[in-house]
Amino acid sequence: MSNVKELELATTAFGQGISVTPIQQITAVSAAINGGTLYTPYITKSISDPLTNNVIKTNIPTKKGKVISKSTSKLVRYALESVVANGTGRSAHIENYRIGGKTGTAQKQQNGVYMVGNYILSFIGFIPADNPKVVLYVAVDNPKGITQYGGTVSAPIAKNIFKDIINIMDIKKDKNGMEKEYNWLDVKYKRLPDVTGKTLEEAKEELKGFNLEYSGNGKNIVYQSPEGGNLIKEDGTVKLLLE
């Protein structure tokens, strides 16, 4: 800290004048969102013998210390979820899932001078936002032919990776996530009412704007898909079973 002068202090406040590796970045963000505990990072969970497949070494998470309180960590998760719902990370948002994250637009330097139009564009995010299981870091070095912001370049890539993570880890939908405030460019989603137990006429009234498909010969709704409470596209299809 003795080398940090007024200029470095000012530039560090908006993310310049410092340099960290991706694993350092992930380690720091993990501590900020996991309740405040800093762990020693490792690359692989275990090392196995290539011939016998017996585990030679297993890396066990090692605590290095407490860096922030649980209450502060909870606030950090909330703030970063709002970045994805309504901030610069909107391009990483996935309806019905809670994702937190932060975009980065880092101006590169050469020979002690910041370069013009040459950036590292990044997004670091985690899922689920209220109880993180996975931290994801995406960085793109000086992309061409596109507006150079982390939110326009790296966040959409992260969104596609998060979709795979959701499938692989079987992460469940969560109806308690932060509501997204849509702008005119967004594909708009609406929260689906629960119409089970109601008549078909009542369901039609509540589901105006949605495309309805129904089967069965009765007058009452006994099942709907998707379930009530989920966010679906404004003109999305709702299937109803009558009995």
- Please answer whether residues 243 and 216 qualify as being in contact, where contact means their C-beta atoms are separated by less than 8 angstroms: yes
The larger pLDDT score, comparing residue 186 to residue 29, is at 29
Kindly tell me if the per-residue pLDDT of 101 is higher than 90.
yes
Computed over every residue of the chain, the mean pLDDT equals: 90
pLDDT at 223: 92
So what's the architecture of 189-242 in CATH? 2-Layer Sandwich (3.30)
Q: 65 to each of 44, 68, 193, how far by Cα in Å?
A: 21, 9, 46
Kindly tell me if the per-residue pLDDT of 15 is higher than 90.
no
Whether the CA torsion 225, 226, 229, 235 is positive or negative: it is negative
pLDDT at 219: 84
What average pLDDT does range 93-120 have in this prediction? 90
Kindly tell me if the per-residue pLDDT of 17 is higher than 80.
no
Strands (E), the chain: 37-39, 46-48, 55-58, 63-66, 100-110, 113-127, 134-141, 189-191, 211-215, 221-225, 231-233, 237-242
The ranges assigned to domains in the chain are 6-169, 189-242
Is the whole-model pTM more than 0.75?
Answer: yes
Report residue 173 CA to chain centroid gap: 13
What average pLDDT does range 5-11 have in this prediction? 81
pLDDT at 1: 59
Percent of the chain with pLDDT over 90: 56
Tokens of 157: 């890539």
Which residues does 103 contact at the CB level (< 8 Å), separation at least 6? Answer: 83, 88, 89, 121, 122, 123, 149, 150, 151, 154, 155
Phi and psi of 233, rounded to 5°? Answer: -60, 145
d(CA 209, CA 230): 15
Tens digit of each residue's pLDDT (9 = 90 or more) over 49-78: 999 999 999 999 999 999 999 999 999 999
Q: Which DSSP letter does residue 199 get?
A: B
d(CA 72, CA 26): 18
CATH class held by domain 6-169: alpha beta
What average pLDDT does range 203-210 have in this prediction? 87
